[in-house]
Amino acid sequence: MQNQRVLVLDFGGQYNQLIARRVRECNVYCEVKPHSMTIDEIKAYDPIGIIFTGGPQSVYAAGSPQVDPKIFELGIPVLGICYGCQLMAHYLGGEVTAAQSDTAREYGKTPTFFDTDCRLFKGLPEESVTWMSHGDYMAKVPESFRLVAHSAACPTVGICDEARGFYGVQFHPEVNHTEYGQKMLHNFLYEVCGAKGDWTMGDYMRASIESIRAKVGDGKVLLALSGGVDSS
């Protein structure tokens, strides 16, 4: 029986693998895949949810990483983080633009205010610190979305279309600097995607061992292992 899976689409952000780690810490299996994954490939992967990562580019810039817009017609919940949030807004009728130095542009620990009626923020305090790192912002949100988070500088920190299971945040819930980030990811997985928590690292280890045994058979294996913290 296959475990439930979440798909993390990579848009070039520095925290992509950390997002995957946080999801797995919630006992949900996930993999990081290229943003260029086709609709047929996504259907075959059969995720219970999709996460768009952050990234260093602007969604309106030529050559910036994009997705097939049909991804929003699959009936699969989506969580957009930073660039991923802006990309979702851009595709669904919002407007993304460069922030000014004194308005909307944010970096670092930022007091943020939440609408806790939103499932993504269920069980959270109405104010907490998040980690921001964005030079663009949503000047206009898509019509079907409502604003569910803001800061002193940026009025569009969080958006959602709960009927379709679409959520976007300008901050990074995956980093420790965001006080309740792991709770937000847990809410997305369990409250929105309907995760059952049917995966553990032990499952991964067993599957890996079985795969290696199937490939190697009676042969021998040469393993080069480096255990340093910063080694490759």
Residue 227 has pLDDT above 70, yes or no: no
The answer to whether 152 and 111 are in contact (CB under 8 A) is yes
Residue 36 has pLDDT above 80, yes or no: yes
The answer to whether 162 and 147 are in contact (CB under 8 A) is no
Looking at residue 55, its amino acid is G
In DSSP terms, which residues pair with 79 in a beta bridge? 51, 167
Q: CA-to-CA distance for 85 and 217, rounded, in angstroms?
A: 46
pLDDT at 24: 96
pLDDT at 149: 98
| Domain range 5-216, its CATH number among 3.90.550.10, 3.30.56.10, 3.40.50.880, 3.30.2310.20 | 3.40.50.880
> Which pair of structure tokens corresponds to residue 29?
């299996």
Compute the average pLDDT of residues 3-24.
Answer: 95
SS (H, E, C) 102-143: CEECEEEEEEEEECCCCHHHCCCCCEEEEEEEECEEEEECCC
Residues annotated as part of the active site: 82, 172, 174
Query: Which stretches does DSSP call E strand in the chain?
Result: 5-10, 29-34, 49-52, 78-81, 95-98, 106-114, 127-134, 136-140, 146-151, 158-161, 166-169
- Mean pLDDT (the chain, rounded): 92
Tally: H helices and E strands in the chain: 5, 11
Per-residue pLDDT reduced to its tens digit, 80-136: 999 999 999 999 999 998 887 667 777 879 999 999 999 999 999 999 999 998 788
